[in-house]
Amino acid sequence: MFWKKLKIIIMKKILISFLFILFFISTVYSQSVKYIYPDSGYQGTNFPITIIGSGTEWMVSDYFQIFFDSTGVTADFVDSSHVPNDTTIYTIVHISGTAVTIPRAIIVLDRFTNVYIKDSALRILLSLPVIPTLILPVNNATNQLQNVTLLWDSNAYATSFRIQLSTDSIFSVSSTYDTSVANTPLQIRPNFLELGMKYFWRVNATNFLGTSAWSSIRSFTIRTIGIKQISTEIPSGYKLLNNYPNPFNPVTKIRFQIPHLSYVEIKIFDITGKNVKSLISQSLKEGIYETVFDATLLPSGIYFVRMKTESYIGVNKIVLIK
């Protein structure tokens, strides 16, 4: 008799627990997201959406947070004024111009940590490429290499980018380098840009829908010290040519020629024989070259330029007058 009563008590407790679990589950998960309207939007747009649910819970919470899986899509915080009834929530969606065009799940969180999710609720549609954002070099950068790398960011769906590089900010035809590439970045070929010159650059992007506006304009300045090949003519021999101007203040150009591929060193020495500047230390193919010596940090006086290769040494006297 005792065991029979105990069994009945246990069964009642199990039944109560089961009913409690069912009640809890039905309460927490009674609501769901049915759909959102509109259910698609273009890259680079902001627009209102309506979230429609099934159930009777949303009026209980005084705020909601709305998310979309993956990056590039966000939504405004929702307070009770944007929840007119238990099945409707209003918010604003923001789609970045670089958002990837994949269907996005919506995630709705209330203040009670309840989570309501619907997969593939929002479709991202392709639009014109956003205006590229210039990254490197930073604006007004100085002391840049002649083979400077231009880096920018834009829509991943752009099929090409047009780059203009100019010595003036209005990009006149006579002074502008104009080219198109498939991807970022673009590295300028060696010795193409002039030493000490300031350049302006801008970029636009194109896909099959059209072309963006031009980016903002940035500038950079090439360093004054470097190597520029001024002729591909094959010289008859090695020679360190006279610098010009001479005397100088504080910059002078030094030319030299090599008849075949050679390792070249060009250094500057003061009258005591101390090496005060190393201009070149690298292998160069045959041709006539020019490099720039900037003596801004040196005192006035007599200096010597020494060019050295495997089979040649040449020395010239130069005069710095400040």
Residue 129 preceded by cis peptide, ω within 30: no
CATH number of 133-222: 2.60.40.10
- Domain 28-125 classification at class level: mainly beta
- Residue 282 is predicted with a pLDDT of 83
> What one-character DSSP code corresponds to residue 241?
P
Q: Higher model confidence: residue 2 or residue 315?
A: 315
- Domain 227-320 classification at class level: mainly beta
- Residue 30 is predicted with a pLDDT of 65
Q: Mean pLDDT for the chain?
A: 88
Quickly state the pLDDT bin for 12 (edges 50, 70, 90). very low
Question: 195-251, pLDDT tens digit by residue?
Answer: 778 999 999 999 999 999 999 999 999 876 677 888 888 999 999 999 999 999 998
Question: 131-165, pLDDT tens digit by residue?
Answer: 999 999 999 998 888 889 999 998 789 999 999 99
Q: Over 80: is that where the pLDDT of 273 sits?
A: yes
The residue whose two tokens read 């670089």 is: 98
Question: 29-71, pLDDT tens digit by residue?
Answer: 568 999 999 999 999 999 999 999 998 889 999 999 999 998 8
For residues 231 and 289, what is the distance between their CA atoms, to the nearest angstrom?
Answer: 7
Closest CA to 216 of 201, 198, 194, 197: 201
Whole-model pTM?
Answer: 0.60
Q: Where are the domains of the chain?
A: 28-125, 133-222, 227-320
The length of the chain is 322
Handedness of CA 124, 126, 131, 134 (dihedral sign): positive
Quickly state the pLDDT bin for 189 (edges 50, 70, 90). confident
* Residue 321 C-beta-side C-alpha neighbours within 13 Å: 5
Contacts with 19 (C-beta within 8 Å, 6 or more apart), sequence order: none
Q: Over 70: is that where the pLDDT of 23 sits?
A: no
- Residue 88 is predicted with a pLDDT of 96
Question: 285-298, pLDDT tens digit by residue?
Answer: 899 999 888 888 89
